[in-house]
Amino acid sequence: MQADPDPRRAVGTRTMEEVVRKRPPESPTLLEETIRDFGFAEIWTRPGLDRRSRYWISISASAATALTDPLEDYVHGALRSGEISLAELREGVLHFAVYMGWPLGRQFDRIVTKVADSLGLSADVPNLRDRPWDPDERFAFGKASYIDIMTFPSPEGPTPFYDAGIKNFVFGEMWMRPGLDQRARRWITLACVGASDSPNPIATHVYAAMKTGDATVDEMKEFVLHYAFELGWPKGSVMQTAVETMADRIARGLEWM
Amino acid sequence: MQADPDPRRAVGTRTMEEVVRKRPPESPTLLEETIRDFGFAEIWTRPGLDRRSRYWISISASAATALTDPLEDYVHGALRSGEISLAELREGVLHFAVYMGWPLGRQFDRIVTKVADSLGLSADVPNLRDRPWDPDERFAFGKASYIDIMTFPSPEGPTPFYDAGIKNFVFGEMWMRPGLDQRARRWITLACVGASDSPNPIATHVYAAMKTGDATVDEMKEFVLHYAFELGWPKGSVMQTAVETMADRIARGLEWM
Amino acid sequence: MQADPDPRRAVGTRTMEEVVRKRPPESPTLLEETIRDFGFAEIWTRPGLDRRSRYWISISASAATALTDPLEDYVHGALRSGEISLAELREGVLHFAVYMGWPLGRQFDRIVTKVADSLGLSADVPNLRDRPWDPDERFAFGKASYIDIMTFPSPEGPTPFYDAGIKNFVFGEMWMRPGLDQRARRWITLACVGASDSPNPIATHVYAAMKTGDATVDEMKEFVLHYAFELGWPKGSVMQTAVETMADRIARGLEWM
């Protein structure tokens, strides 16, 4: 009996079973073979980033593609492995929808419901709205939260996007919900600003992720590789440049620009 | 009987019924609750932009995501409310396909057909081609139209993209079709250049929308918030910067660059 | 009997039958009419680019949209016409997946399987892994391949994206697989970097495509028009600017930046 000509196969098969609870196909196509032998054997096994973080990156990136199958696999795997709870996923869906828009968010939400139903799971999500919102209070709260999360003040000026959008809702309500930790929110945000190809949001969120300590520089570099596998090398290249640039600026005590 | 702890719920429910002719789910997920209480209650109700414009923005943005359900809801709502006619939607599909490519355009077209059939609607679209095109005439026409619509001359040089594409077809034929007003074409274009993440097309079309008077600066700012809800805050941020920059250039009597 | 008011109709119908092996609808919508009379009659018939290249561009661009119908039509047409073999398509799927991420790649793979099954085709793809990879050998190989393909050295520095990703896998393994010629790989890559909206990857791959001689400047300009039809004029505009800029730099003997 010969030795396996490629030891990656066994590692990839085992890792794929752990991550998405599926075995690779018996007669894989070239792509399926590569997903097993490179994606699962050589990326998911790397030590520089914990598995929970990798799930959030893969889930957010695949939700951004508008496809459902890979997303469903990852959601299934995250829930089955216990790395992410259903209540956390519901918060993650909202966070994702804010960064990628609600049409994509709604599809992600339906996939979570489908997988949860198939596993017999249900979850209560804390309701923040037990009293009417005071618009002024929310606005002031959003302004303060923005600085905590982004590390610099939000743009000023009476404009609907910054006021009714960013301060009132994104930072006045969504980011501060208690059901999901800030590090998970970072991975969702980073995958989404990258998938959105938006230069300044990429720069500011890469900067803030490291500046707040939510992720180390080395973890951010691992993030780039993992994210590139999900969304392709060109988007990975943009993210890699942002991580290098912003790590350098932080090391030199500079603002993001 | 207690007061509703959140008055946004009633406003959001009513607005959602008006816009997409559906009631929110009885037991909403966190995301569905937010779509109702933020999207419908706090964005669709804002006074700075008319509902017909909001439909065009939401329809174009959701068509750009490659998803069908939100698009179908909006097309249904636009036709039922009478804000957009079926003949206009057919023109809108063509305009969208030029800016987002024909694979996405073809899916949008099928959704329009599906909804029109379900409502028993049909429409005749004016045929511009009652005589063969004279290529020279069309080219000259496209060159003149380009200036009218963009406010500056089209790039010169014998290159297929500008000649066979932009002048011959996009401005020589598509933009000048009579079945859809120029303001509606602007919203479709703006949503599509934004969804396409293309820096110069974003800059030029934001500039031209305001410079021609098709949209005011304040309407453009409302557009950004509405668009950000559909396609996410990072893309909204890019658009917000473009609106601020171009409004400033126009106020100072400058060209787009 | 009157002359056909638009001679483009006959050309478009015939070309569409050749390319996707389908007749246009008898009662076309405005969009379907335009796909026939502009897309098939005026773009696919242009002499400046061979049909095999156009298939690779259309296949890659439609695979990038996350939609399946246009992709299936093109895959079917490419196989039926003999312009692309099934074994080449399997290599193309892997190449595409590296540049657009594996969720989109997996969907492309399934469409290829579906069409191949419907045509009763099967193919053996050469297995490069008949002995275990030596990581050092692969890394050195990737470093050399990078220069051959990109025309300049890869970025240095111990970072997972460049080392475990780019050198180890993308250039150490994928690009050098023998089952697909380098010119086909260029079209896939160009469509993918464009669809990914990634400025530096667009610049470097446009530069390298011309610098290596895989495509002439005139072919690249035809590529832009064809690509713009599939993914929209805004993305076409970004690509057109890149082609002009990089052709000029090459003519002046300059590096890409």
CA neighbor of A233 nearest in space, from C109, C35, C166: C166
Residue of B nearest to A170 (CA): B233
Q: Which position has the higher pLDDT, C210 or B137?
A: C210
pLDDT per residue over A189-240, tens digit each? 999 999 999 999 999 999 999 999 999 999 999 999 999 999 999 999 999 9
Quick check: B186 pLDDT over 90? yes
C-alpha C222, offset from chain centre:
13
**Whole-angstrom Cα distance, residue A167 to residue A138?**
8
Chain position carrying tokens 């005139």: C218
The residue of B102, B121, B190 whose CB has the most chain C CBs within 10 angstroms, and thus the best one to mutate to test that interface, is B102
Say what the pLDDT of residue A135 is.
77
Contacts made by residues B219-223, CB under 8 angstroms, sequence distance 24+: B219/B48, B219/B49, B219/B53, B220/B247, B221/A159, B221/A160, B221/A161, B221/B48, B222/A160, B222/B46, B222/B48, B222/B49, B223/B49, B223/B53, B223/B57, B223/B187, B223/B190
Who among A32, A228, A244 is closest to C165 (CB)? Answer: A228
Alpha-helical regions (H) of C101-181: 102-118, 135-150, 160
Say what the pLDDT of residue C179 is.
92
User: How many residues belong to chain C?
Assistant: 257
Distance from CA of A44 to the nearest CA of B (A): 28
Q: How many Cβ atoms from other residues are within 10 Å of residue A113's Cβ?
A: 16
In this structure, are residues A9 and A37 in contact, taking their beta carbons and an 8 Å threshold?
yes
Say what the pLDDT of residue B172 is.
87
Residue of A nearest to C159 (CA): A221
The residue of C227, C233, C246 whose CB has the most chain B CBs within 10 angstroms, and thus the best one to mutate to test that interface, is C233
- State the 10-residue block means of pLDDT for chain C, 257 residues long: 67 97 93 94 96 98 97 98 97 97 97 97 74 77 92 88 89 89 98 97 98 98 98 97 97 95
Say what the pLDDT of residue A157 is.
77
User: What CATH fold (topology level) applies to the domain C51-126+177-251?
Assistant: AhpD-like (1.20.1290)
Say what the pLDDT of residue A2 is.
47
Where do the domains of chain A lie? 1-45, 50-124+177-251, 135-169
Residue of B nearest to C68 (CA): B103
Quote the percentage of chain B above a pLDDT of 70: 95
Q: Which amino acid is at C206?
A: V
Answer whether B162 touches C (CB < 8 Å).
yes
- Report CB contact under 8 Å: A240, C162: yes
**Whole-angstrom Cα distance, residue C236 to residue B146?**
17
Say what the pLDDT of residue B204 is.
97
Say what the pLDDT of residue C134 is.
78
Q: Which chain B residues touch A201 with a CB distance below 8 Å? A: 233-234, 237-238
Answer whether A197 touches B (CB < 8 Å).
yes
Question: What ipTM was assigned to the predicted interfaces of this complex?
Answer: 0.94
Q: Which chain B residues touch A200 with a CB distance below 8 Å? A: 237-238, 241
Answer whether A111 touches C (CB < 8 Å).
no
CATH number of the A50-124+177-251 domain: 1.20.1290.10
- Report CB contact under 8 Å: B234, A201: yes
Low-confidence residues of chain A: pLDDT under 50: 1-2
pLDDT per residue over B95-132, tens digit each? 999 999 999 999 999 999 999 999 999 987 866 655 56
Q: How many Cβ atoms from other residues are within 10 Å of residue A119's Cβ?
A: 13
Answer whether B6 touches A (CB < 8 Å).
yes
Answer whether B98 touches C (CB < 8 Å).
yes
pLDDT per residue over B145-184, tens digit each? 999 999 999 988 789 999 888 888 899 888 888 899 999 9
**Whole-angstrom Cα distance, residue A39 to residue A33?**
9
Average pLDDT of the residues of chain B: 93
**pLDDT confidence band for B2 (50 / 70 / 90):** very low
- Report CB contact under 8 Å: C46, B193: no
Residue of A nearest to C171 (CA): A233
CATH number of the B23-123+171-251 domain: 1.20.1290.10
Answer whether C236 touches B (CB < 8 Å).
yes
Say what the pLDDT of residue B201 is.
97
Answer whether A66 touches C (CB < 8 Å).
yes
